[in-house]
Chain A
Amino acid sequence: MKPTPNKWRLPDLGMGMGLRTVHYNHIVTRRPRMGFFEIISENFMDAGGAPLSWLERIAGQYPIVLHGVSMSIGSTDPVNRPYLKRLKALGDRVKTPWISDHLCWTGVLGRNTHDLLPVPLTEEALRHVARRVKIVQDILERPLVLENPSNYLEFTQSQMPEWEFLARLCEKADCGLLLDVNNVYVSAFNHGFDPETYLDAVPVERIVYHHLAGHTHKGTHILDTHTGPVIDPVLRLYQRIHARTGGRPTMVEWDEDIPAFDVVAAEVEKARALRRGAPAHAA
């Protein structure tokens, strides 16, 4: 299948995974097959010791992409310019092709809850976030790629579905989309929408890469815990979006009870097989 390129013709880095401390030694000594590693930006922005040394060694062997959790693009606090300058410096250091974060806010009145809090999907919020994305991209001097968050609530004031908000935001602010397929599944369950409708509506040319992950089902709702294998229904959704894009870089996140490298790599292999056209249930 011929891929539909993303708008910026950013490179297809293939299949990757989240870089986690417990795997550093394995990666450096075994040099496993992996297209790229994604780092949590904030874990390295102020690091001066071992984390930075490991990052430099791994960045010498693999492409690194930056994924942040504190940009707070939807917050009504002023844009944090010192944070963005440090983020840019880290991006320059590891030569990241793009920088990603979430469509969310993490706090107001100077606080940081360190959570990815949902943005009301209103015209006002759309204008607000789009304006801030432009400011951020000017400072970072590279595309900002925003991830669809997993949400546990919906605001009564929301005026459009999330897929429409994201599509309009990408167009208005000229930014990219990190489509987390697990998050679509999680939010679809929590809010009761059809995840396929979501995937069929997002603008393909804006999708820069994908996240896949496991989650925790609490019965009444699903928590995006990034633990355990990627479940088959999520892989089937991944196949569905793959049919539209023709292939995008994809990485697996595993953040709780992190297993041995090979266990996470096996999840990456599942997704790799799907990119090659294998059926989801056989992956």
Chain B
Amino acid sequence: MPPEKSASHLAATQRWMQRFIVDPASDARLIRRERASARVRVKPSRALKSEERVAIYRGMYLLRMNEALLSDFPALESAVGHEGFHRLVADYVAVYPSRSYTFNDLRQHIVRFLATWGPKRQRAWLADIAAVECALADAFDAPRSGVLTARQAAAVPASAWPAARLEATPSLHLLSLRYPVNDVLPKLRDGAHLHAPRPQATWLAVFRRDDRVWRLPLSEPAFVLVTDLSRGVPLGRALRRAAAADPDLEPAVLHSWFQRWVAEGIFAAVKRPPARRRAGTRRR
């Protein structure tokens, strides 16, 4: 992003100060390197040297990032420990600094980042915890939408269902996880330091209803089906794919899933394809 040309001295000052604040070098090393330039640019106070005055902003930068990420990832902090979380935040914002006016966007790369951060044996566990907490935060902030009611669903003629597409609520997040994070999340969020459990594939829906965020564990076939539906696959085709993946899937089970999903408010609307015009009719 090029600076505005009308303020070149100001731009140089701002670039210097930002570099001082966000540089991932140790404080001692940075101050050794920048002491002379700080004394050229910043007045000392009665009690502080020039470089100490800029360092106040530097100290607050990481505290602020830590506070913002901690509010979204309390379970992740429990899993890596207090000091570990500070290191994680410092490493993370060095690679993915905030580029948005809102802290809500700061969390968006953390799952990807955790795939390569820390000891290898912990990475999938930490990434799964972060994925769930990220979904919780995103669902909390998601835009509002309507909710498909049981009555609206019942009003759709049976013949229209195979071609109908269900529109998921914008707060819906579907997660395929390698660890049973949902089982231990409350303990982690209460501050318990738990070691990674044995890997076990689990599936989870996270969504908001009535301004509260909910977690709904899913079976694998239910996860596949609701994922297809949330991507706009017509219901008939989605059901055929689910049946092909699990031939034992009974219609009564499918029916109970749909009832539950509609009751939970996972779907915002049902979109029916436009009725075909008969040959020979004209649009008025």
Q: Which of B96-104, B109-117, B120-128, B267-275 lines the interface with chain A?
A: B96-104
For B142, what are the chain A residues with a Cβ–Cβ distance below 8 Å? 48-49
Residues of B within 8 A of A53 (CB): 211
Is A25 located at the chain interface by the 8 A CB criterion? no
- Which label, helix, strand, loop or mixed, suits the secondary structure of the A interface? loop
Q: Is A78 an interface residue (CB 8 A)?
A: yes
Q: Which of A148-156, A204-212, A259-267 contacts B (4 or more CB under 8 A)?
A: A148-156
Contact of B10 among A78, A107, A110, A122 (CB under 8 A): A122
Q: Does B4 interact with chain A (Cβ within 8 Å)?
A: yes
A151 to B271, CA, bound (A): 55
Identify B57's interface contact among A70, A115, A125, A154, CB under 8 A. A115
| A124 lies within 8 A of B1 (CB) | no
Q: Is the CB of B6 within 8 A of A131?
A: yes
Chain B residues lying within 8 Å of A105, measured Cβ to Cβ, are 14
In contact, B143 and A48 (Cβ under 8 angstroms): yes
A80 adjacent to B101 (CB under 8 Å): yes
B284 to chain A, nearest CB (A): 38
Q: Does A4 contact B (CB under 8 A)?
A: no
Contacts of A219 in B (CB 8 A): 47
Q: Distance (Å) between the CB of A191 and the closest chain B CB?
A: 7
Binds A, one of B27-35, B48-56, B79-87, B183-191: B48-56
A124, B211: Cα distance in complex, Å: 48
Residues of B within 8 A of A111 (CB): 18, 22, 97-99
Q: Which of B57, B68, B144 contacts A48 (CB 8 A)?
A: B144
CB < 8 Å neighbour of A108 from B11, B50, B104, B144: B11
Proximity string of chain B (188-215) to chain A, C-beta cutoff 8 Å, 1 when within and 0 when not: 0000000000000000000010011100
Q: Is the CB of B42 within 8 A of A156?
A: yes
Known: A120-B10, A128-B4. A152 touches B141 (CB 8 A): no
- Taking a contact as CB atoms under 8 Å apart, the answer to whether A125 and B7 are in contact is yes
From the candidates A76, A115, A122, A156, name the one contacting B43 in the complex (CB within 8 A): A156
A42 and B1 in contact (CB under 8 A), knowing A52-B144, A113-B22, A155-B42? no
| A152-B7 contact given A75-B14, A108-B14, CB 8 Å threshold | no
A residues 35-75 touching B (CB-CB < 8 Å): 42, 45-50, 52-53, 70, 74-75
Whether a CB of chain A sits under 8 angstroms from the CB of B60 is: yes
Contact A46 B10 (CB under 8 A): no
User: CB-defined interface of B139-173 with A at 8 Å, one 1/0 digit per residue?
Assistant: 11111100000000000000000000000001100
Known A47-B141, A49-B141, A49-B142; judge A124-B10 contact (CB<8 A). Answer: yes
- Knowing A108-B3, A155-B43, the reply to whether A115 touches B60 (Cβ < 8 A) is yes
Q: Which residues of B contact A152 (CB under 8 A)?
A: 53, 56-57
Q: Is B98 a contact of A76 with CB atoms below 8 Å?
A: no
Contact with B along A183-199 (1 / 0, CB 8 A): 00000001110000000
In the complex, what distance in Å separates the CA atom of A127 from the CA atom of B213?
47
CB of B140 within 8 A of CB of A156, answer no
Q: How far is the CB of A156 from chain B (nearest CB, A)?
A: 6
| B101 close to A42 (CB less than 8 A) | yes
Chain B CB within 8 A of A15 CB = no
Bound CA span A77–B213, Å: 37
B40 adjacent to chain A (CB < 8 Å): yes
Given A114-B64, A128-B6, A155-B43, are A49 and B171 neighbors across the interface (CB < 8 Å)?
A: yes
Taking the closest CB of chain A, its distance from the CB of B207, in whole angstroms, is: 11
- Say whether B231 faces chain A, with CB atoms less than 8 Å apart: no
B17 at interface by CB-CB < 8 Å? yes
- Nearest chain-B residue to A192 (Cβ)? B46
B contact residues around A47 at 8 Å (CB): 141
A-B contact list, 20 entries, CB within 8 Å: A42-B102, A46-B102, A46-B141, A48-B143, A49-B211, A76-B10, A78-B4, A108-B1, A112-B98, A112-B101, A124-B7, A127-B6, A128-B6, A153-B53, A153-B54, A154-B42, A192-B45, A219-B47, A220-B52, A221-B56
Q: Which residues of B contact A (CB under 8 A)?
A: 1, 3-4, 6-7, 9-11, 13-15, 17-18, 21-22, 40-43, 45-48, 50, 52-54, 56-57, 60-61, 64-65, 68, 97-104, 139-144, 170-171, 208, 211-213
Residues of chain A having any CB pair with chain B under 8 Å = 42, 45-50, 52-53, 70, 74-78, 80, 83, 105, 107-115, 117, 119-120, 122, 124-125, 127-128, 131, 152-157, 190-192, 219-221, 223
Known: A46-B141, A114-B68. 16 other contacts (CB 8 A): A42-B101, A47-B141, A49-B139, A49-B142, A78-B4, A111-B22, A113-B18, A117-B14, A120-B9, A153-B57, A154-B42, A154-B45, A156-B43, A192-B45, A220-B52, A221-B48
